Amino acid sequence: MSDSISIYMAQLNPTVGAVAANCEQIAAAYARAMIQGADLVLTPELSVTGYPLEDLVLKPFFVRTAMQAVAALAEITAEEGAPGLLVGSPWQDGENLRNAVVLLEGGEVRELRFKHNLPNYGVFDEIRVFDAGTPPTPMVFRGIKLGVMICEDMWYPDCTASLASAGADILLVPTCSPYELGKHTERKRYSSNRVSESGLPLIFCNQVCGQDELVFEGASYVMAADGSIPVELDAFFEEEYLTSWTRTADGWVCDSRHQGYAPDTQEGMYQAMVLGLGDYVRKNRFPGVVLGLSGGIDSALSAAVAVDALGPDKVQCIMMPSRYTSGESLGDAEQCAKALGVQYDVIAIATGVEAFDEMLKDAFAETEPDTTEENIQSRLRGLALMSISNKFGKMVLTTGNKSEVSVGYATLYGDMCGGYNALKDLYKTEVFALSRWRNNVVPQGALGPGGEVVPDNIITKPPTAELREDQKDEDSLPPYDELDDMLKCLVDEEMSVADVVARGHDASTVARIEHLLYIAEYKRRQAPPGVKITRKNFGRDRRYPITNGFRSART
């Protein structure tokens, strides 16, 4: 029986569905681990296929492809004394489709374990596609009993209890746990509970990538039996690390010490947007992005995120002035573009607006101008951006924040027109805060410049859509600090109007905001994907009906 083991943590960035490329990535990490003398290589949950698979995993040929890839990966472990390899893959188990972790050693599949606790909440619906396994027993690897739990299996005590009662030595948790505010603390709390209950140390190995609306920030770690964290890998970046372990009279002890990049809350929010947007553009093979730069704060921060994610050479900003665009906005947009070093173009829409007015004058005869005419401007801008996208292949980046999208202050087929929205889950007050933060900090790994990338005047001037004379956002909305507090209550906390009013808000205003929230659902269903930041993003976290007669103010 061995009294030592070295376990290589491979915090990888897979692409969903790209089985061959993912296996090449695993094999490359395995080769590096072998050079360093690893005994075992641990990869994240479903590392062969990427995660989440959604309904792709219901395609039988895809599952067969993944299983064949696992068999091929086993061949790299055939050399005598080569490390073992733990990979994740969907697995056809008779009539059941499983979320599996597979131990490869000696050129073959040695052990299989299936995920027992399938999550079915928030962004997760694994019960839809996978069949649950039984509580696991340890895998025996070179005389050591490895207690392998797959992600959600760590959230509940039953799998840990099963493994501990069967004599597990070390708990291993291959996982795909997505980023949201407070999630890393939550993971460590559950890890601490399992370690405390079992008296066993734990290795938590997460993937690091953007996958559509989800970001997985990595931040893998080792938790010792006393609850301390001797090893923690980088958040938001790929990292691999060899951990060394020794058997003592009190159990297995991690002898390694390592502290990776651990951003604070604001930097974490920003890095999530950078990783999510960057991977979305790269993995979908867009040559770059194009966005409207209005001279306002949302588009300025969106441009900064895009430059940090992709580099200035892959970002095109277009100012599209109308008769209502102020000289101040023109100057602010140009200053922002110069600070970021991006391609900057001006495409005036005034002649297009005039053409539409002429085209619709008979249909609109004897009516007064209203938001219809305002929205024509927004839709012409969307048309211009989509035309650039169509001609050059660049993805249109939309720039609306969560506050606007919540209350429907966004134009379908206008400023909502595009392929991705990095700011989708940021409230307006958070947009202001992150803009100030970015002016003072260059995030780790950022491809953009330092300094004042969001001009101070953009941050300090009153927000406006500039679709009519002297327009300001607060003409028809509460101040954003008040609005965002109401929205966090109504959206993130699912509070009633009465509950929100009890916090000190005006009753009629809260009732109006709730009504706007509900009637804008049809717009949100047509919005592009964007990075999940909060516990309740508009997307898979919050699935409200479009046709909805409920209002808590009327009950």
Per the structure block, which two tokens stand in for 370? 């209203």
Q: Is 145 marked active-site?
A: no
Amino acid at 243: T
Q: Residue 513's Cα: distance from chain center in Å?
A: 27
115 contacts 99 by C-beta, under 8 angstroms: yes
- Catalytic, 373? Answer no
**487 touches 517 (CB < 8 A):** yes
Catalytic site residue from 23, 151, 205, 336 = 151
Phi, psi (rounded to 5 degrees) for 91: -145, 125
- The single residue of 45, 232, 466, 482 carrying the catalytic annotation is 45
> Are 463 and 301 a contacting pair, CB within 8 Å?
no
Contacts of 261 (CB under 8 A, 6+ apart): 234, 235, 236, 237, 444
The answer to whether 416 touches 437, Cβ cutoff 8 Å, is no
**Residue 265 burial (CB < 10 Å; 0-12/13-18/19+)?**
exposed
199 vs 251: CA distance, rounded Å: 9
Q: Where are the alpha helices (DSSP H) in 19-96?
A: 19-35, 60-74
CA angle 8, 10, 12 (to 5 degrees): 175
Q: How far apart are CA 443 and CA 264, in angstroms?
A: 11
Query: Are the beta carbons of 233 and 239 closer than 8 angstroms?
Result: yes
Task: List the catalytic residue out of 23, 105, 111, 115.
Answer: 115
- With 0-12 / 13-18 / 19 or more C-beta atoms within 10 angstroms meaning exposed / middle / buried, residue 94 is exposed
- ∠ CA 204-210-212, nearest 5°, is 125
CA–CA dist 208, 212 (Å, integer): 13
**Separation between Cα atoms, residue 43 and residue 75, nearest integer Å:** 17
Q: The dihedral of CA 358, 362, 363, 365: what is its sign? A: positive
Strand order in the sheet with 315-319: 343-346, 315-319, 289-292, 395-396
45 is catalytic: yes
Q: Which residues are catalytic?
A: 45, 115, 151
